């Protein structure tokens, strides 16, 4: 490679071949399942005013200052490449009057951008599929969303991941729990890891999923959300879990599963590979395949009316890793021109085959003598050859005996 060739941006990827097929398979499967659940397709801008994301994140966190791709446009406005779908969809819900469609079930997919150090399963430009239900405060919405996620994973053949489920309660429950956690950890502050001492100020709920062995002894007897749930919050969670049981979705309770941002309420969930499974190995340090929750406080923080909502997103690259590389689809017909005088005939035939709906390609370059062998290596139902003149044949056909091959032979011979 020449020194003058510009390099790709760190954390971006060029996906090709079997991996690109896996990526497409994930998206196609998602589109199919989303229709089954009657989620409506939306297309969203890849950038928004910075405040759309900054306000949804609460302005203060590192995430805003360090992890967003923000820039000024020519008018001096601060814009940001979307780091998530939810805030943009919430903004659209408000600015387009989509309240009239509430409860609104929408789904989308596409690229997202976060300024992070790349590692296995984490990129600066990455891709997600996303599903949201806006304007629905009933636990049934959570259940439907989780059933859809579960069916999607099954449809992709991913069976070694499990739904980890928790509740953060309503606003009051959540605050009471948070205060109790701070009190609990503050008492042993000096014995916590440096990171967790920091978290105590910024994001105490996160101490619960610390990996540091110094923190582990204090996690087991930490206050539990269940002791702080209001009756309403308990009833909500019970409705979610019984709905999941009725829908046949397996789940485990994950009392340490939390969300850092204040607008999250009630249900929080992640589909996580089972310990020691193939999927766990494939994902490296990343553990979550699909995650989401209820964010009843978000739309208000964007200046809208109180609006309950729940949603999830999943990384397409991560799902593609679990699905594994997929074969590129076999051609219906490969046409090889061994005799250059027959090129026009070959082009004409190629056009007819494609018009008739057969995926076909033409080999007519390079050494004529080697074209046949090259064509032979391309997986196809039929190989059509325009041989050299001396053989006396005008056309040769080599089929694989499939119904497709039979149909093609009829079409090619019967001209």
Partner RNA sequence: GCGACCAUAGCUCAGCUGGUUAGAGCGCCGGUUUGUGGUACCGGAGGUCACGGGUUCGAACCCCGUUGGUCGCCCCA
User: In the complex, what is the shortest distance from the CB of residue 10 to RNA, in angstroms, rounded to a whole number?
Assistant: 4
Task: Give the helix ranges, DSSP H, for 187-339.
Answer: 194-202, 231-247, 278-283, 298-301, 316-323
Nearer to RNA (CB atom), residue 156 or residue 268: 268
Q: Is 268 helix (H, G, I), strand (E, B) or coil?
A: strand
Nearer to RNA (CB atom), residue 38 or residue 189: 189
Indicate the angle between helix axes 194-202 and 171-186, nearest 10 degrees. 140
Where does this chain bind RNA (CB under 7 A)?
A: 1, 7-8, 10-11, 53, 57, 61-63, 67-68, 83-84, 86, 114, 116-121, 195, 198-199, 203, 206, 210-212, 259-261, 284-286, 291, 338, 365-367, 369-370, 372-374, 376-377, 383, 385, 387-388, 391, 393, 396, 398
User: In the complex, what is the shortest distance from the CB of residue 199 to RNA, in angstroms, rounded to a whole number?
Assistant: 5
User: In the complex, what is the shortest distance from the CB of residue 407 to RNA, in angstroms, rounded to a whole number?
Assistant: 19
Nearer to RNA (CB atom), residue 203 or residue 234: 203
284: left (phi over 0), alpha (psi -120 to 50) or beta: left
Residues sharing a CB contact under 8 Å with residue 184, sequence separation 6 or more, in sequence order: 218, 221, 222, 223
User: In the complex, what is the shortest distance from the CB of residue 284 to RNA, in angstroms, rounded to a whole number?
Assistant: 2
Give CA–CA dist 33/10, Å, rounded.
Answer: 33
End-to-end CA distance of the chain, in Å?
Answer: 49
Give CA–CA dist 336/350, Å, rounded.
Answer: 10
Nearer to RNA (CB atom), residue 83 or residue 135: 83
User: In the complex, what is the shortest distance from the CB of residue 347 to RNA, in angstroms, rounded to a whole number?
Assistant: 19
User: In the complex, what is the shortest distance from the CB of residue 321 to RNA, in angstroms, rounded to a whole number?
Assistant: 9
Residues sharing a CB contact under 8 Å with residue 134, sequence separation 6 or more, in sequence order: 89, 90, 93, 98, 102, 103, 104, 106, 299, 307, 309, 311
User: In the complex, what is the shortest distance from the CB of residue 196 to RNA, in angstroms, rounded to a whole number?
Assistant: 8
Residues sharing a CB contact under 8 Å with residue 363, sequence separation 6 or more, in sequence order: 334, 335, 336, 337, 371, 374, 375, 378
Residues sharing a CB contact under 8 Å with residue 342, sequence separation 6 or more, in sequence order: 386
Nearer to RNA (CB atom), residue 213 or residue 305: 213
Nearer to RNA (CB atom), residue 139 or residue 399: 399
Nearer to RNA (CB atom), residue 220 or residue 285: 285
User: In the complex, what is the shortest distance from the CB of residue 246 to RNA, in angstroms, rounded to a whole number?
Assistant: 28
User: In the complex, what is the shortest distance from the CB of residue 391 to RNA, in angstroms, rounded to a whole number?
Assistant: 7
Nearer to RNA (CB atom), residue 247 or residue 376: 376
Residues sharing a CB contact under 8 Å with residue 395, sequence separation 6 or more, in sequence order: 384, 385, 386, 387, 412
Nearer to RNA (CB atom), residue 74 or residue 117: 117
Helices (H) and strands (E) in the chain, counts: 14, 15
Task: Answer for the pair 172, 234: CB distance below 8 angstroms, yes or no.
Answer: no
User: In the complex, what is the shortest distance from the CB of residue 255 to RNA, in angstroms, rounded to a whole number?
Assistant: 16
Residue 77 CB burial class (10 angstroms; 0-12, 13-18, ≥19): exposed
Q: Look at strands 78-81 and 125-134 and give their pairing.
A: unpaired
Task: Answer for the pair 124, 68: CB distance below 8 angstroms, yes or no.
Answer: no
Nearer to RNA (CB atom), residue 230 or residue 387: 387
Indicate the angle between helix axes 316-323 and 17-36, nearest 10 degrees. 110
């Amino acid at each position: 490679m020449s020194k003058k060739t510009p390099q790709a941006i760190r954390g971006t990827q060029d996906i090709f071949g079997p991996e690109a097929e896996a990526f497409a398979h994930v998206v196609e499967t998602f589109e199919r399942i989303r229709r089954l659940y009657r989620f409506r397709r939306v297309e969203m801008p890849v950038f928004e005013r910075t405040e759309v994301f900054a306000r949804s994140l609460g302005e203060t966190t590192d995430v805003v200052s360090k992890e967003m791709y923000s820039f000024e446009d020519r008018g001096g406005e601060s814009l940001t490449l979307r780091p998530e779908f939810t805030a943009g969809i919430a903004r659209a819900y408000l600015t387009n009057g989509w309240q009239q469609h509430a409860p609104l079930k929408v789904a989308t997919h596409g690229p997202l951008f976060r300024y992070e150090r790349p590692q296995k399963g984490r990129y600066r430009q990455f891709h997600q599929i996303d599903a949201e239900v806006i304007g629905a405060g009933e636990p049934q919405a959570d259940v439907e969303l989780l059933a859809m996620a579960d069916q999607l994973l099954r449809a992709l053949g991913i069976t070694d991941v499990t739904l980890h489920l928790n509740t953060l309660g309503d606003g009051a429950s959540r605050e009471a729990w948070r205060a109790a956690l701070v009190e609990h950890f503050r008492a042993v502050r000096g014995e916590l890891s440096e990171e967790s001492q920091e978290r105590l100020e910024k994001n105490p709920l996160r101490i619960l999923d610390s990996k540091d062995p110094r923190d582990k002894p204090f996690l087991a007897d930490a206050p539990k959300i269940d002791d702080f749930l209001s009756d309403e919050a308990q009833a909500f969670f019970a409705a979610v879990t019984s709905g999941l049981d009725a829908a046949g979705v397996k789940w485990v309770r994950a009392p340490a599963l939390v969300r850092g941002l204040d607008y999250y309420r009630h249900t929080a969930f992640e589909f996580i590979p089972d310990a020691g499974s193939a999927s766990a190995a494939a994902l490296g340090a990343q553990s979550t395949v699909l995650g989401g929750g209820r964010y009843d406080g978000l739309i208000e923080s964007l200046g809208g009316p109180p609006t309950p909502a729940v949603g999830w997103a999943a990384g397409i690259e991560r799902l593609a890793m679990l699905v594994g590389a997929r074969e590129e689809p076999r051609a219906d017909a490969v046409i090889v021109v061994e005799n250059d005088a027959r090129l026009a005939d070959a082009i004409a035939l190629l056009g007819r085959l494609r018009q008739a709906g057969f995926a076909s390609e033409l080999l007519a370059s390079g050494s004529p003598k080697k074209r046949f062998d090259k064509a032979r290596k391309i997986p196809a139902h039929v190989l059509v050859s325009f041989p050299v003149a001396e053989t006396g044949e005008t056309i040769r056909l080599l089929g694989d005996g499939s119904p497709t091959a039979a149909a093609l032979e009829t079409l090619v011979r019967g001209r």
